[in-house]
Amino acid sequence: RVPLLQAAKKKNSFNLLGLTEAELEEQFVRGNGPGGQATNKTNNCVVLKHIPSGIVVKCHQTRSVAQNRKIAREILQEKVDLFYKGEDSDVFKEKKALEKKKQEKKRRAKENLERKKHFKEMQQLDKK
């Protein structure tokens, strides 16, 4: 019973729930989207299902089946962790922190824009 996180070599490993191969159902299907013959004639899209929770992940980010399998497992592990732990999940906490950071950046940009607008108005008044 080797956790899939180790198999996927996740860089920023959270305290995620471990998955086993016995809990997974894997299929290879044709991908969709741009790519022409490379996409239309090869089964390199990975569909991974976690049987106990019923969560399904479809991954077709690269042309390599091996890379798609790794990526699909990483995504599935994060989704399963979020499913079982909810707001206590590290994935949830990181998403909330990123959202907060984004809102703060947006607020600062808006303030800078207002400051610039005010500065231009002051320059126009000085010229008159």
The enclosing H or E element of 46 equals: strand 45-50
pLDDT, residue 85, reads 82
pLDDT > 60? residue 74: yes
Higher pLDDT, 84 or 10: 84
pLDDT, residue 118, reads 93
pLDDT > 50? residue 90: yes
Rg (CA), the chain: 23
pLDDT in tens, 10-37: 445 566 677 888 889 999 998 877 777 7
Decide: 103 and 97 in contact? Cβ < 8 Å: no
Distance of CA 6 to the CA centre of its chain: 18
Class of domain 21-86: alpha beta
Neighbours of 64 (CB within 10 A): 11
pLDDT > 90? residue 49: yes
